Chains A and B, each alone.
Chain A
């Protein structure tokens, strides 16, 4: 029997993979994908609760998140492209312009 619990554990695992990916991977595109993974895991939580509670609120929020994610992907990729033009690298640790 697959319960809500399983969905949630799966979502947490996916989220943690995403976080881990964001923190340890150096390639910006991979980081970006990790962020998408985190968003997806959140969506999964929304959906499972929606099913569990029998309410459509969660599904509406999923659409919301997907929309934002799409916009964010556009902006984020734009930034990466712009950065790549200035500094031909995709590794984040080589971009240290914020160093104090």
Chain B
């Protein structure tokens, strides 16, 4: 009996349960929501919360258990577990996909972030969404998201990863358009899905190219068993991919650009802010948008084969980082600022990946998940207090009314700005240091300027929101209140994490142990470690100090200007009117896409393909033309049918005479 139970609760089972819990939550709440809405009834909020939050927390506990189990492995053994196939998904003689999970250092970190931050945001949502009539539906979507996200990060092959990849896109679509009565929100959801799909098309081509390249070499079947999508197999045979490494990596990177909102596919993320704020925190800041970074980190062994692709990744990342940061400076919607900030931070992560600092990127991903979730939830708390007003120009002086939100928000802002010793400092600085150290001075400079801008726009936000004079009517001011404990406690936890989260990765230069880096070495190998780094820490320390001063300078500047000297920015905006308009209108990129892609496509489809080719050429001329032709001949021939019998006889006689003539003579 005990044996049997032991067999059932083997680590593999535990692993599968991690994924299964959120799915169960999503299914139960989804069914309840559907049945209730069909019969026009209300669902019980407490039961919904119990199911909706219970399963993610269980999932987090199980992830933690797995983590503890794996670090309990004896020294020298990799803390890695592959569950093996639950079932085989596609079977063909030359194509086998096992549905299996892979737990290694990287996916464990991701799994912990996803379930941990995810659970916190679920808890927060209980308060934030408490009055919404779609409460149950909301939790079922959120659980479904968690399910797909876990599938994405825990998958042991590219196809299962893609399942999660598209699945999170779906949940993003559903949650952005959660308040679908507003046509703009519904449109934003669709835009997110479609733009992501463009990236996904590239992703698909990338994995096809991997498969085709590997299948073209006559590799020993007994070794790979045609599981060419499996990470282990790809890693093992990566040498065969060398000739196509650049196109493969670039195609996959296109997918990452879509999912992680990089140039040129970033346009969906700012619009995605239409969703409920906890969704923005979970999906569009902490987890889903980092899928692209995770994917590239997961396939690091491929990317190192192609220096070209790496350079492209680094440049796209750096350009996105600064590009989005400049836009963030002028935005007036609190969530839009945070959205552009997310795009910018994701850019830093890609910059890190591009220069080979994989573990630094994952480190930044983790700290970013903490402080960006915190910032979004803090913004949610503010919006909640301001009864749905997003415009920061209407805020001001909220410090007195909502101290917890204020100070946790400031912590988050300081963390993202890179002020030591908060988490963001260590992670961002590591990326910048690696960029500098690997000789990409140009990229480093872009990143460095971007860091200053980050500090500036974040503290502009802080200054406008929490400090200075209140900019709202007094009746409104009276109504502002601190959020309920279910929300503020989450803010406190995340605030704590934003401060100390970075301490697990303090580089040796600052006297830390760099634990995360060493933990991830099992996945990324030691390729990223530069020899000289061990020799001298001086340049790293100098750069670190410089960037702290740089960020601090901008932070103080921004908070002073926007809290006390409001007229300055207006003057500056007036003087550099064009630049200000350019930034305020986000470089008119949306309009550009609309003008260059969307409208021509619609015009061609409607007026040329449908109107001319389909209706006119094919249907009217070719098809109906054939009919007209028949009718034409019909009209010609019917002329002979006069109805006068004698004429018929006349023709008949002539015919007879002719025949007689022909045969007789």
The interface of chain A, by Cβ under 8 A from chain B, is 19, 22-24, 26, 31, 92-93, 95-100
Contacts and interface: CB of A to CB of B under 8 A. Distances in A.
A97 B643 contact: yes
Contact of A22 (B640, B641, B649): B649
B90 interface: no
B644 A96 contact: yes
A99 B643 CA distance: 4
A23 B643 contact: no
B643 A96 contact: yes
B653 interface: yes
A19 B642 CA distance: 20
Given A31-B646, A92-B644, 10 more contacts: A22-B646, A23-B653, A24-B646, A92-B645, A93-B644, A93-B646, A95-B645, A98-B641, A98-B643, A98-B645
A83 B487 CA distance: 100
Given A19-B653, A23-B653, A100 B638 contact: yes
B650 interface: yes
Nearest to A98: B643
Interface string B633-659: 000011011111110011001000000
A53 B132 CA distance: 116
A22 B650 CA distance: 9
Interface string B369-398: 000000000000000000000000000000
Contacts of A24: 646
Q: In the complex, which of the residues B640, B646, B653 has the most CB atoms of chain A within 10 Å of its own CB atom? A: B646
A41 B659 CA distance: 21
13 contacts: A22-B646, A23-B646, A92-B645, A93-B644, A95-B643, A95-B645, A96-B642, A96-B644, A97-B643, A98-B645, A99-B641, A100-B637, A100-B638
A96 B649 CA distance: 14
Contacts of A98: 641, 643, 645
A93 B647 CA distance: 9
Contacts of B643: 95-100
B649 A23 contact: yes
A31 B650 CA distance: 13
Shortest 8 CB-CB contacts between residues of A and residues of B: A100-B641, A99-B643, A96-B643, A100-B638, A98-B643, A93-B644, A23-B650, A23-B646
A30 to B, nearest CB: 12
A65 B643 CA distance: 29
A95 B650 CA distance: 16
Contacts of A100: 637-638, 640-641, 643
Given A19-B653, A23-B653, A92 B642 contact: no
A98 B641 CA distance: 7
Contacts of B649: 22-23
B664 to A, nearest CB: 14
Interface of B: 637-638, 640-646, 649-650, 653
Contacts of B646: 22-24, 26, 31, 92-93
Contacts of B638: 100
Nearest to A26: B646
B635 to A, nearest CB: 10
Contacts of A19: 653
Nearest to B657: A19
Contacts of A93: 644, 646
A96 B642 CA distance: 7
Contacts of B640: 100
Nearest to A20: B653
B637 to A, nearest CB: 8
Nearest to B637: A100
A19 B646 CA distance: 11
A31 B646 CA distance: 10
A85 to B, nearest CB: 19
Contacts of B645: 92, 95, 98
A82 to B, nearest CB: 15
A99 B648 CA distance: 11
Nearest to A24: B646
A23 B649 CA distance: 7
Contacts of B653: 19, 23
Contacts of B641: 98-100
A93 B645 CA distance: 7
B641 to A, nearest CB: 3
B653 to A, nearest CB: 6
A96 B638 CA distance: 13
Contacts of A31: 646
B14 to A, nearest CB: 86
Contacts of B644: 92-93, 96
Nearest to B635: A100
B401 to A, nearest CB: 93
Nearest to B656: A19
A100 B643 CA distance: 7
Q: In the complex, which of the residues B642, B644, B653 has the most CB atoms of chain A within 10 Å of its own CB atom? A: B644
Nearest to A96: B643
A22 B643 CA distance: 16
Nearest to A99: B643
A73 B369 CA distance: 108
A96 B637 CA distance: 17
Contacts of A97: 643
Contacts of A96: 642-644
B287 to A, nearest CB: 77
A99 B642 contact: yes
Nearest to B650: A23
B652 to A, nearest CB: 9
B316 to A, nearest CB: 74
B47 to A, nearest CB: 79
A95 B69 CA distance: 105
A24 B650 CA distance: 9
B335 to A, nearest CB: 76
A95 B642 CA distance: 10
A19 B640 CA distance: 21
B128 to A, nearest CB: 80
Nearest to A25: B646
A78 to B, nearest CB: 17
A99 B641 CA distance: 5
B225 to A, nearest CB: 74
A23 to B, nearest CB: 5
A26 B644 CA distance: 10
A24 B645 CA distance: 11
Contacts of A92: 644-646
A97 B642 CA distance: 9
A24 B638 CA distance: 23
Contacts of A23: 646, 649-650, 653
Nearest to B642: A99
Contacts of B650: 23
A79 to B, nearest CB: 12
A45 to B, nearest CB: 15
A58 to B, nearest CB: 22
A25 to B, nearest CB: 8
